[in-house]
Structure 1
Amino acid sequence: MESAEDRIWTVPNALSFLRLLGVPVFLWLVLGPEADGWAIALLMLAGFSDWLDGKLARAWNQTSRLGRLIDPLADRLYILATLVGLVLREAIPWWLAVLVVARDVVMVPLLLVLKEYGYGPLPVHFLGKAATANLMYAFPLLFLASHVGWYSEPAAIFGWAFAIWGTGLYWWAGVLYAVQARVLIRDARAERERPREQDSERR
């Protein structure tokens, strides 16, 4: 019998899959026909679905291993695609994109070490979700700010507020993940060393 953790076809997972499918669509809208209205609407929908799939997973007891994998993957791909699109359209400065992406680059070695000790990706922290939510609010607002209109100035103010908070929380969550990873790696190393110490004592 399939356990709840092994389920694939759940509503939260379906929302995450749809969010993944939206990544290339967003890039095409931004870089192809430059259909900015549709691109902004898609970003807003992605941000809402990111909140909704977590809410439904907890409320309906539909958390799963696959969901814990594809949900953060969809978040990161959306953030990366959005950064690429907005930088190429000159809607945001390149240094903001570098600052956000650098956190994930820093985390890669930790994930590789964790994998070596038999651990999968770390559970998504609340701060990580809050950071992603802030960034997903920031991007469409900064996109609006790059256009000429009455909404440009307020969009820029709120967009940069969300971007600053989101980037700060993104790095703060990274620090917490690093601390958690360090504890797991230390305990795993101690567990590996224990049989060797016992063997040496027997000799």
Structure 2
Amino acid sequence: MSEEAAGAPPERERQLGIFEDKILTVPNMISLARLACVPVFLWLLFAQNNLWAAAWLWGGIGATDWVDGWWARKFDVISEFGKFVDPLTDRVALIVPILAIAIEGAVPWWLVIVTLAREGLVALAGLALSAMGGRRIDVTWWGKVATFGLYFAFPFLLAGASDHSTAAGFEIAGWVVVVPSLIYSYLSAAQYIPLARIALREGRLDKRMG
């Protein structure tokens, strides 16, 4: 047996090392913790009928939206798993609660449709771009602003539907925030059109050169 083979770690240890280095990172754990809070939110909303607590939990999920990505860039622990789980968490933590509070009757369905129509269009466009060989498009600044605003607007509206003494104020705040956030979200969707052309061209070029 060669020295290289003798000194090489067993396959199981090597795979475990990759798992710890690429998956068990602080940003990924933050993303997974945020994702795990979504079932708790649903439990508070439907099983406990505690709209006030559910609103605060959802607000906390939204307020920490930036932490995982910032940590990954700051400490250079960006991983392929993180690139997958971070946007997945963001989408699930926004879309599932929005549908849930509409079912609960806390917000009108037309607002949900307007909000999720944009999310659906962007998701379908991303899938089409990937299928055609385009590279991944990073979220624009307007898109981040819109998502951050929606993460606060909808919890405000949910708190406004509760029986808390400050509910009326939260309802007003929710509508004040949700309108510009939706405008920003559609503006950001329009920004992706020229970016998609560039991403498609660069993605195909990279594949030809590779």
TM over 0.5: yes
CA contact (8 A) 1:103 1:171 kept: yes
Written as runs of structure 1 = structure 2, the 5 A alignment for 1:93-172 is 93-119=108-134, 121-172=136-187
1:120 shift after superposition? 5.3
Same amino acid, percent of matched pairs = 32
CA contact (8 A) 1:8 1:66 kept: yes
Q: How many residues align?
A: 191
Q: Quick check: 92-101 or 168-177, which moved more? A: 168-177
1:137 shift after superposition? 0.8
Structure 1 ranges of 4+ moved more than 4 A: 186-189
| Counterpart secondary structure, 2:64 | helix
Question: Kindly tell me: are residues 147 and 116 of structure 1, through their superposed partners in 2, closer, same or farther at Cα, counting changes over 3 Å?
Answer: closer
1:17 corresponds to: 32
Question: Kindly tell me: are residues 44 and 112 of structure 1, through their superposed partners in 2, closer, same or farther at Cα, counting changes over 3 Å?
Answer: closer
Tell me how large the CA RMSD over aligned residues is: 2.6
CA contact (8 A) 2:51 2:161 kept: no
Match of 1:8 among 20, 23, 27: 23
1:87 corresponds to: 102
CA distance in 2, matches of 1:161, 1:80: 20
1:31-86 superposed Cα distances (whole Å, 9 cap, x missing partner): 22212233123112211221222232232222222222221211111111111111
Alignment of 1:35 onto 2:65: no
CA distance in 1, matches of 2:174, 2:73: 29
CA contact (8 A) 1:68 1:123 kept: no
CA contact (8 A) 1:16 1:71 kept: yes
Written as runs of structure 1 = structure 2, the 5 A alignment for 1:50-65 is 50-65=65-80
1:159 shift after superposition? 0.9
1:185 shift after superposition? 2.3
Alignment of 1:179 onto 2:198: no
1:150 shift after superposition? 3.9
1:79-131 superposed Cα distances (whole Å, 9 cap, x missing partner): 11111111111111111110111012212332232222334542222222221
CA distance in 2, matches of 1:153, 1:36: 14
Match of 1:44 among 51, 59, 75: 59
CA distance in 2, matches of 1:25, 1:13: 19
Q: Which amino acid aligns with 2:133?
A: G
The two structures have a TM-score, normalised by structure 1, of 0.81
Q: Which amino acid aligns with 2:141?
A: F
1:177 shift after superposition? 2.1
Give the gaps of 5 or more residues in structure 1: 195-203
1:74 corresponds to: 89
CA contact (8 A) 2:136 2:199 kept: no
CA distance in 2, matches of 1:51, 1:131: 13
